[in-house]
Amino acid sequence: MNWKIVLAVLVVNILFMSSSYTMLIPFLPMYLTMELGVADSSVHMWSGIVFSATFLVSAIMAPIWGRMADTKGKRAMALRASLLLSVSYFLGGIVQSPEQLTLMRLFQGFASGLWPMDLAIMSLYAPREKLGFSLGVMQGVLTAGGVVGPLLGGVLAEAVGMRYSFFVAAVALFLNFLVFLFVIKEPPAPKVEKKQDEPEVNLWKIPIIRNMLLCGTLVQMVILILQPVITTYIAELAGPIDNLVLVAGAVFSLGGIAGAMAAPFWGGFGQSRGFFLSMTLGLGGAGTIMLLQSLPRSLPLFALCQFAGGLFFCAIHPSINAILAQETPASHKGRIFGLLFAAQQVGSMTGPLLGGLVATYLGMPYVFVVSGLLLLALSLFITKTYPLRRAV
């Protein structure tokens, strides 16, 4: 298949996947109280359980699915993930208790793995000189889905009820399944003859791969660290207003809008100037903006920083993806992106917990300080470890 056709199809696939996920996740606390009868006094506990259940299981399963992708086929694993995710969303629309919703989210963690398969498929189809551009476009669409999803979820919840959002998501993922079944073919991968006594490659023992996986974990942790505090912090900056949820959602989405705009640029920049350089600039810029976000005492300045931060954040993940794709043989593409997805799930679990602890004991501005310092430290680490290294 032509790589441009594959990219176009995967763009639609990713938009469906990302918007389906994000049109439901922000509204889970409301779903628990309004549809499943959870008391206000225990909704935070159930929200934490339901939210983290998927991350826990997917972190365990992602390396397994990745290894199976390298032996059974990337397309087969994409078919599996699309179909099972569709089933999980349908089940989410018919659950009647928080316990059932938790079981659904556990099953969703088992079903997950579509995004790493998209990355693995594209990294095999894309010409080497177009890899950065392709991964940048995919990251931009993933970010755009994170902006479209909450808006669509809010409209559906207001118009027909939150249960129907799950059914819409189920249909979207089933369409993805049909596209993989009838349109996408298994990507070409050169067969590598393996000697009988040759030991299995342990990707984790390769320093550059291990460092990229650790960076992926920490960056995802920083991204998720704001979730427990962002609405409260915006409320503190804005003062008493009637439409707080709408304002908070709009401000929070500014970073996603900026990221969707800038991600293709960073992909091309990394391709021509080196992915380590684009990663360093992204980490440094995002870390600096994060520190600045702890200073504004007005909502407009904070919103401006949110947009500026999105311009730099979107450089980080495509660079990590491209470096891993270049440093990994074709026979291990599924495995490496499975490991990266697992690493990011660990970051997704620890980020909200760390954010809540820092906000509780140090104050909300320090969440941004801790996040900014961590990103700047990562930028310095990459600069010192891989000086002047360009794309290979």
The highest-confidence range among 155-169, 209-223, 336-350, by mean pLDDT, is: 209-223
Cβ 162 vs Cβ 152: under 8 Å: no
Among 93-97, 224-228, 265-269, 363-367, the minimum mean pLDDT is found in 224-228
Residue 148: pLDDT band with limits 50, 70, 90: confident
Query: Which carries the bigger pLDDT value, residue 104 or residue 330?
Result: 104
Residue 249 in this model has a pLDDT that exceeds 70: no
CA–CA distances in Å: residue 220 to residues 38, 104, 196, 388: 30, 24, 39, 25
Average pLDDT (261-270) is 86
Instruction: Tell me the pLDDT band of 190, cut-offs 50, 70 and 90.
Output: low
Numbers of helices and strands, H then E, in the chain: 16, 0
Model pLDDT for residues 95-133, shown as the tens digit of each residue: 999 999 999 999 999 999 899 999 989 988 998 888 888
Contact 89, 302 (CB under 8 A): no
Interval 154-186: pLDDT, tens: 778 777 878 998 999 999 999 999 999 999 998
180 close to 84: Cβ distance less than 8 angstroms: no
- Residue pair 203/63 in contact by the 8 Å Cβ criterion: no
348-367: pLDDT as tens digits: 888 877 877 887 788 888 88
Q: Is the pLDDT of residue 312 over 70?
A: yes
Count of beta carbons in the 10 Å neighbourhood of residue 181:
13
Q: Distances in Å between the alpha carbon of 295 and those of 224, 243, 283, 370? A: 20, 24, 19, 13
Which position has the higher pLDDT, 42 or 16?
Answer: 16
Query: Cα separation of 323 and 275, whole Å?
Result: 7
CATH code of domain 204-392: 1.20.1250.20
Query: What is the pLDDT at residue 30?
Result: 77
Does position 211 have pLDDT exceeding 90, yes or no?
Answer: yes
- The confidence band for 191, taking pLDDT boundaries of 50, 70 and 90, is low
**Better pLDDT: 198 or 352:** 352
pLDDT value, residue 107 = 96
The pLDDT-based confidence of 33 (bands split at 50, 70, 90) is confident
Report pLDDT for 231. Answer: 62
Domains 1-186 and 204-392 share a fold: yes
Average pLDDT estimate for 214-220: 92
CA–CA separation, 53 and 72 (whole Å): 27
Cβ-contact 220, 351 below 8 angstroms? yes
- How much is the mean pLDDT over the chain? 85
What pLDDT was estimated at residue 197? 46
Per-residue pLDDT tens over the stretch 368-392:
999 999 999 999 999 999 875 554 4
Query: Does domain 1-186 match CATH 1.20.1430.10?
Result: no
Lowest-pLDDT range, 35-44, 80-89, 376-385? 35-44
The tokens 């023992």 sit on which residue? 205
Contact between 282 and 266 under an 8 Å Cβ cutoff? The reply is: yes
Its pTM stands at 0.78
Mean pLDDT value across residues 209-213: 92
Rounded to the nearest 5 degrees, what angle is found at the Cα of 314, between the Cα atoms of 211 and 115?
A: 70
In the chain, where the domains are located? 1-186, 204-392
Residue 391: predicted pLDDT: 45
